[in-house]
Amino acid sequence: MSALKSFISTFSLFLQKVRTIILDLGTALILLFLIIAVAGALFSSGPDVKDPSGRVLFIDPAGSVVDQEAFNSDFLFNVGGDPSAEQIQTRDLIKLIRAAAEDSDIPAVVIDFSSTDFAGPTTAINIAKELKALRESGKRVIAFNDRLSTTSYLMASQASEIWVHPVGSISVRGLGGMRNYNKDLFENLKINFHNYSQGDFKSATETNWRSNMSDNDRMQREALLFPIWDEMKSLMAEGRGIQADDIQSFADDYVGFFGEAAIGNIAYAQANNIIDGTKSFPEFRQYMIEEFGLDEESETETYKTISYSEYSKQIDDDISESGNQIAVITAEGTIMEGDISQGVAGANGVVKQIRSAHEDENTKAIVFRVNSPGGSIIASEMMRDELRAAKNKGLKVIVSMGDYAASGGVYISTPADFIFAEPTTITGSIGVAIALPTFENAMDYIGVNFDGVVTSKHGGWDLTQPIDDDLDKIFASWGADAYDRFVNFVAESRSKSYEDIKAVAGGRVWLATDALEIGLVDEIGGIDSAIAYAAESAEIDDYKVEYYGQELSPEELILKELLENFDVSLGEPRVLSALDGISKLYETLIDIREPKALFTCKDCLVDLD
pLDDT at 440 > cutoff 70: yes
Q: What is the pLDDT of residues 280-306, one digit of tens each?
A: 999 999 999 999 999 888 888 999 999
Q: Domain 325-570+578-603 falls in which CATH fold? A: 2-enoyl-CoA Hydratase; Chain A, domain 1 (3.90.226)
| Nearest-10 Cα torsion for 97, 99, 105, 106 | 0
Predicted local confidence at residue 74, as pLDDT: 52
Distance CA 605, CA 603 (A): 6
Predicted local confidence at residue 356, as pLDDT: 97
Q: In whole angstroms, how far apart are CA 182 and each of 188, 193, 206?
A: 10, 10, 9
Task: Please give the class, per CATH, of domain 56-171+254-312.
Answer: alpha beta
pLDDT band (50, 70, 90) for residue 597: confident
Distance CA 290, CA 280 (A): 15
Predicted local confidence at residue 590, as pLDDT: 44
Q: What is the pLDDT of residues 340-379, one digit of tens each?
A: 998 999 999 999 999 999 999 999 999 999 999 999 999 9
In sequence order, which residues have a C-beta less than 8 Å from that of residue 273 and are 6 or more positions away?
Answer: 240, 241, 242, 246
Written as one letter, the residue type at 143 is A
CA 442 distance to own-chain centroid = 38
- The closest alpha carbon to 370, from 232, 512, 537, belongs to 512
Mean pLDDT of the chain: 86
Main-chain phi, psi angles of 519, to 5 degrees: 85, 15
119 with 65: CB under 8 angstroms?
Answer: yes
pLDDT at 581 > cutoff 80: no
Count of alpha carbons within 13 angstroms of residue 541, beta-carbon side:
0
Is the pLDDT higher at 433 or at 383?
Answer: 383
Distance CA 305, CA 311 (A): 10
- The closest alpha carbon to 381, from 337, 349, 419, belongs to 337
Number of helical H runs and strand E runs in the chain = 20, 23
pLDDT band (50, 70, 90) for residue 601: confident
Give this prediction's pTM: 0.86
Written as one letter, the residue type at 32 is L
In sequence order, which residues have a C-beta less than 8 Å from that of residue 507 and are 6 or more positions away?
Answer: 197, 198, 199, 200, 201, 202, 203, 407, 429, 430, 431, 432, 433, 603
343 with 355: CB under 8 angstroms?
Answer: no
What sign results for the dihedral spanned by CA atoms 470, 471, 472, 473?
positive
What sign results for the dihedral spanned by CA atoms 573, 575, 580, 581?
positive
DSSP 313: T
**SS3 state at 574:** coil
Lowest mean pLDDT segment, chosen from 43-52, 163-172, 307-316, 578-587: 578-587
- Rg of the chain in Å (alpha carbons): 27
DSSP 322: -
Q: Around Cβ 298, how many Cβ atoms within 10 Å? A: 11
546 with 328: CB under 8 angstroms?
Answer: yes
Distance CA 351, CA 353 (A): 5
Predicted local confidence at residue 321, as pLDDT: 80
Written as one letter, the residue type at 572 is E
Q: What is the pLDDT of residues 454-486, one digit of tens each?
A: 999 989 898 999 999 999 999 999 999 999 999
Domain spans in the chain, listed from the N-terminal domain onward = 56-171+254-312, 325-570+578-603
pLDDT at 34 > cutoff 80: no
Distance CA 254, CA 501 (A): 44
Predicted local confidence at residue 10, as pLDDT: 59
Q: What is the pLDDT of residues 69-104, one digit of tens each?
A: 988 755 444 444 444 458 999 999 999 999 999 999
Predicted local confidence at residue 64, as pLDDT: 93
Lowest mean pLDDT segment, chosen from 26-40, 318-332, 459-473, 522-536: 26-40
Q: Integer distance in angstroms from the first to the last C-alpha of the chain?
A: 59
97 with 57: CB under 8 angstroms?
Answer: no
Distance CA 402, CA 333 (A): 11
Residue by residue, DSSP assigns 533-562 as HHHHHTT-SS-EEEEE-----HHHHHHHHH
Q: In the chain, what percentage of residues exceed pLDDT 70? A: 82
pLDDT band (50, 70, 90) for residue 28: low
